[in-house]
């Protein structure tokens, strides 16, 4: 069936042929006449035995629309409705000619009955075929699907151009049908083919995973799909066999290396957990022994993965009648708390369910933690990274910083380790958070010999880094690719592991699977040159040319004109000198400098001041805060007046608003509403139940809570990499749940022993949003100029649903200064002007910075803001909700409509 029936003929088709023809779909432009009640009775029955009594369907050809120009090849499909046809004829042809309708009227009809369908065509089409084809036939769809399935990574444009080949692009999918000349149509058809593999919904997951298991009967496929914890563990019998091996005392390639691969799956939060071991006899390389799909990186996800790893090792030990020992489970990992906690929990679970076990849970936790070795490469990379932060480590002290860091690795006992760390902090005080992070009781035993709990024999037999697993990630990328859909990626994992197994079996019978005696040829290079790649060795210093006289500015010991101008002509700052900037010091320049400045005759710009609060009796902390709040509140004084209008005359909020509005000519009337500065949230807990309490249960706070402050911390800084936007997105993400113990108790004893999920759901956001940096001060954060409470796409449709950065407060606080510390403010007004404010100078007036912009002055890395005194660090950030009270109402409405887990929240 090609879709172009023509002539007078009829034929009976089977039901299969009827379905493959898509109910005799034609490519002619046709209309189906309507039916009256009497016609409907005469249409027949599709369950009839004879085709003459079957259900009848008729079609009439509408002909074509053609241009009156003889050389024009455009043939248009007529619209079915008369109004649409008239509109078509009123238009002109793309070639400029007039359009004319050529009707046809040929009738075709078919009868659908119990065992098939009878088709009858009653005339000949004497007109050309329309050039624009709308539909693909079943055969054309199958051809296109075969191309896409063989080349799933090829995009629509490449499919249209031609499939890649050795001699260049090959056949194009447009050769299948003219309907595929449109890249957007190709994209649509391609998505239809790949859609089920890319988007595996929950309702389709079970049949798809069962089909996957049937295709791979040798594999152990274990699925965990509950409480938002989605893990699929894959292991073959061969992987389980090679996971257990004899210890090789000659080289540190024993144990297991585990890591998460972040770019294998297409999902944003999907990870591939891999655990690999070294196969020394035949493959002589690292091979994966356990692979897991995971939709997150929590301790619970890692717990499932490691528990299967332990059970697989134990099963192999039982098979060969070998004792199960703790040292079999030794792993080299990175310093992720989730990975470490997941390993410990799995270790406790394994020994708790395996007899005999005489250790308590606390002893099992300690023994499990002692089996982890941290990656030394991660530590060395961190040394290089921190040493390049010139604010923390001066450029001339980088080598000293590196020496102190490496000394931590060589200490023999804890006293010497702590002493070395204290000296390190004393030499580099700004690196104290970094040093203390590595000295934590959870991290130090995984890295520093002085605090290692593992036996020295086992420690020395394990690899020093997770580089082998990082290389395994790259190997998987080359074998399968990146950004894979779930089932495509799982099939790729199976095929890659079978490739390792096939090479192993081939090498066992003498087949050469690599050239030379050892595929790890880089080891010989390392043993000979102390490095693995020639490009990594230290370059020899450039030889000085003693046969050439000094003939450059540097060789003559002079200063270049560029450096001299930079030194003698510093950029004129709009800021007046602070108390710490002495007027006498500013005049201490060379006579040459005075001459240069007088020649330049650079005009000194006028300084623009804005009245603010004058310092009095150590009030700088209050002055700086009020100035920052004015920068936010002053953008929408109408909303401010409306919201605080109902407050009593003697209320503290009324006094506060008076202070804020001192910047304006008239002090507004009474004010109201805590929600102007506070957020509202509700605590939601959900537990899936346990054996003692099998029914799912929830806990919600009866009333929303006021959330007064948003304070950052060291843990948040580490968790989000110092990115304030990432933290803000996480704060409002309804799917970010944390694991807690179930709250249900009887007589003060736990009734449900399952782990629950908890989430603080933000119901209302403040108009003035204040974020405090928290302890310790000085942590580098990247400050965005805008924040989007409901996402950037939502903000495009509702311009007011965004927070604009309006002010920042800085302090020079240290423990030594104590109460003598000072606070200053930088803010920008609604017209984009940026002001610097210090209540102790300029009579409490803020100074306009004419060349300043929000990027680099307010937003960006907090440790690199322009023209900020070196001893000051960021203390607080203030944002203003652009849409004011209307945006607040819209946010409440959206949060109520999109509450997590399908909850319905009603609040006033």
Work out the pLDDT band at 37, boundaries 50, 70, 90: low
| Whether the predicted pLDDT of 773 surpasses 70 | yes
- State residue 609's pLDDT score: 56
The top-scoring range by mean pLDDT among 201-205, 555-559, 599-603, 888-892 is 888-892
pLDDT, one tens digit per residue, over 211-240 is 999 999 999 999 998 778 999 999 999 999
pLDDT tens sequence across 90-108 = 999 988 889 999 999 999 9
Report which of residues 143 and 33 the model is more confident about.
Answer: 143
What pLDDT band is residue 602 in, cutting at 50, 70 and 90?
very low
Q: ∠ at Cα 347 (341, 349), nearest 5°?
A: 105
| pLDDT recorded at residue 741 | 82
636-674 residue pLDDT tens:
666 665 666 556 655 655 555 655 555 443 333 333 356
Among 46-50, 160-164, 303-307, 845-849, name the most confident range: 303-307
Structure tokens at 747: 């007589």
Of the two residues 532 and 309, the one the predictor is more confident about is: 309
How high is the mean pLDDT of the chain? 83
pLDDT tens readout for residues 782-836: 999 999 998 888 888 887 899 999 999 999 888 878 777 888 999 998 888 999 9
Q: What pLDDT score was predicted for residue 362?
A: 94
* pLDDT score, position 292: 97
pLDDT of 879 reads 93
What residue ranges do the domains of the chain occupy? Answer: 138-198, 202-371+465-501, 376-453, 637-676, 678-765+767-901
Cα-flanking dihedrals φ and ψ of residue 431, to 5°?
A: -90, 10
Residue 596: pLDDT band (50, 70, 90) is very low
Q: What is the pLDDT of residue 111?
A: 93
What does DSSP assign to residue 182? S
* Helix (H) / strand (E) containing 220: strand 220-226
Q: What b/e string do you get for 771-781 counting C-beta neighbours within 10 Å, with b at 16 or more? A: bbbbeeebbbb
Residue 127: CB atoms within 10 A of its CB come to: 16
In terms of Cβ atoms closer than 10 Å to its own Cβ (0-12, 13-18, 19+), residue 193 is: middle
What percent of the chain is modeled with pLDDT above 70?
A: 81
Average pLDDT over residues 884-894: 87
pLDDT of residue 150: 86
Chain centre to alpha carbon of residue 794 = 19
Cα 753 to Cα 744: distance, rounded to the nearest angstrom:
9
The CA-CA-CA angle for residues 283, 284, 289, to 5°, reads: 70
pTM of the model: 0.52
Provide the pLDDT for residue 307: 96
Q: Is the pLDDT of residue 119 over 50?
A: yes
CA distances, 699 to each of 624, 702, 739 (Å): 41, 9, 14
Write the secondary structure of 849-872 as one string of H (helix), E (strand) and C (coil): CCCCCHHHHCEEEHHHCCCCCCCC
Chain segment 668-713, per-residue pLDDT in tens: 333 335 677 888 888 888 887 777 777 778 888 777 788 777 889 8
Among 241-255, 356-370, 522-536, the range scoring the smallest mean pLDDT is 522-536
Coil vs helix vs strand at 650: coil
């Amino acid at each position: 069936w090609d879709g172009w029936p023509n002539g007078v003929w009829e034929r009976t088709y089977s039901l299969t042929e009827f379905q493959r023809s898509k109910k005799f779909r034609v490519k002619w432009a046709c209309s189906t006449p309507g039916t009256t009640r009497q016609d409907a009775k005469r249409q027949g029955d599709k369950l009839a035995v004879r085709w003459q009594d079957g259900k009848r369907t008729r079609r009439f050809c509408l002909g074509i629309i053609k241009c009156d120009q003889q050389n024009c090849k455009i043939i248009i499909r007529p619209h079915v409705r008369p109004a649409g046809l008239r509109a078509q004829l009123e238009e002109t042809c793309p070639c400029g000619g007039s359009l004319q309708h050529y009707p046809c009227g040929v009738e075709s009809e078919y009868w659908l009955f119990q065992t098939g369908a009878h088709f009858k065509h009653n005339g000949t089409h004497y007109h050309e075929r329309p050039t624009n084809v709308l539909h693909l036939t079943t055969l054309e769809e199958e051809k296109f699907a075969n191309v896409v399935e063989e080349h799933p990574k090829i995009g629509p444009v490449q499919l249209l151009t031609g499939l890649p080949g050795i001699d260049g692009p090959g056949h194009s999918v447009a050769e299948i049908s003219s309907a595929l000349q449109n890249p957007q149509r190709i994209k649509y058809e391609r998505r239809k083919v790949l859609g089920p593999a890319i988007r595996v919904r929950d309702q389709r997951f079970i049949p798809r995973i069962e089909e996957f298991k049937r295709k791979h009967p040798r594999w152990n496929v274990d699925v965990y799909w509950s409480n938002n914890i989605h893990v699929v563990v894959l292991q073959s019998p061969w992987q389980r066999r090679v996971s257990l091996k004899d210890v090789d005392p000659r080289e540190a390639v024993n144990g297991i290396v585990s890591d998460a691969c972040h770019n294998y799956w297409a999902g944003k939060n999907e990870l591939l957990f891999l655990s690999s071991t070294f196969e020394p006899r035949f493959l002589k390389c690292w091979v994966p022994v356990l692979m897991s799909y995971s939709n997150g990186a929590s301790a619970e996800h890692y717990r499932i993965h490691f528990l299967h790893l332990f059970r697989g090792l134990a099963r192999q030990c039982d098979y060969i009648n070998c004792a199960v020992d703790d040292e079999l489970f030794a792993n080299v990992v990175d310093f992720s708390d989730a990975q470490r906690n997941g390993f410990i929990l799995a270790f406790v679970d394994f020994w708790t369910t395996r007899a005999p076990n005489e250790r308590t849970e606390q002893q099992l936790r300690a023994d499990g933690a002692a089996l982890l070795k941290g990656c030394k490469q991660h530590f060395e990379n961190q040394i290089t990274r921190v040493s390049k932060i010139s604010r923390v480590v001066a450029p001339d002290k980088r080598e000293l910083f590196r020496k102190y860091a490496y000394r931590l690795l060589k200490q023999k006992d804890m006293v010497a380790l702590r002493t070395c760390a204290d000296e390190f902090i004393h030499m580099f005080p700004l690196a104290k958070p970094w040093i203390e992070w590595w000295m934590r009781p959870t991290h130090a035993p995984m890295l520093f010999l002085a605090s290692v709990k593992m036996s020295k024999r086992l420690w020395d037999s394990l690899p020093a880094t997770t580089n082998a697993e990082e290389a395994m990630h790259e190997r998987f990328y080359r074998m399968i690719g990146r950004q894979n859909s779930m089932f495509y990626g799982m099939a790729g994992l199976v095929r890659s592991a079978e490739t390792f197994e096939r090479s192993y079996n081939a090498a066992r019978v003498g087949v050469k699977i690599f050239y030379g005696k050892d595929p790890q040829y880089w080891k010989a290079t390392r043993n000979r040159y102390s490095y693995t790649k020639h490009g990594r060795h230290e370059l020899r210093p450039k030889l000085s040319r003693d046969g050439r006289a000094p003939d450059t500015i540097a060789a003559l010991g002079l200063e270049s004109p560029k450096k001299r101008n930079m030194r003698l002509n510093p950029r004129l700052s709009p800021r007046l000198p602070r108390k710490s900037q002495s007027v006498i010091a500013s005049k201490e320049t060379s006579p040459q400098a005075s001459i240069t400045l007088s020649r330049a005759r650079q005009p000194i710009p006028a300084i623009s001041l804005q009245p603010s609060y004058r310092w009095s009796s150590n009030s700088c902390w209050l002055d700086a805060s009020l100035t920052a709040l004015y920068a936010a509140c002053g953008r929408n004084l109408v909303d401010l007046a409306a919201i605080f209008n109902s407050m009593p005359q003697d209320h503290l909020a009324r006094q506060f608003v008076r202070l804020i509005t001192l910047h304006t000519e008239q002090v507004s009337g009474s004010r109201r509403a805590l929600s102007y500065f506070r957020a509202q949230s509700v605590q939601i807990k959900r537990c899936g139940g346990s054996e003692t309490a099998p029914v799912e249960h929830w806990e919600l706070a009866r009333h929303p809570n006021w959330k007064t402050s948003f304070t950052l911390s060291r843990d948040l800084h580490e968790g989000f990499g110092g990115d304030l936007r990432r933290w803000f997105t996480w704060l409002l993400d309804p799917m970010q749940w944390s694991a807690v113990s179930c709250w249900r108790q009887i007589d003060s004893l736990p009734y449900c022993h399952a782990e629950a999920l908890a989430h603080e759901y933000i119901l209302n956001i403040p108009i003035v949003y204040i974020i405090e940096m928290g302890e310790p001060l000085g942590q580098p954060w990247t400050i965005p100029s805008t924040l989007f409470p409901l996402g950037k796409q939502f903000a495009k449709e509702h311009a007011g649903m965004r927070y604009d950065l309006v002010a920042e407060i800085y302090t020079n606080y240290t423990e030594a200064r104590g109460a003598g510390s000072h606070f200053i403010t930088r803010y920008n007004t609604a017209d984009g002007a940026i002001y610097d404010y210090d209540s102790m100078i300029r009579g409490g007036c803020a100074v306009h910075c004419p060349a300043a912009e929000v990027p680099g002055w307010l937003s960006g890395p907090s440790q690199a803001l322009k023209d900020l005194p070196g001893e000051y660090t960021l203390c607080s950030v203030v944002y203003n909700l652009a849409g004011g009270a209307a945006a607040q109402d819209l946010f409440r409405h959206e949060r109520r409509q999109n509450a997590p887990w399908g909850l319905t929240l009603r609040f006033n």
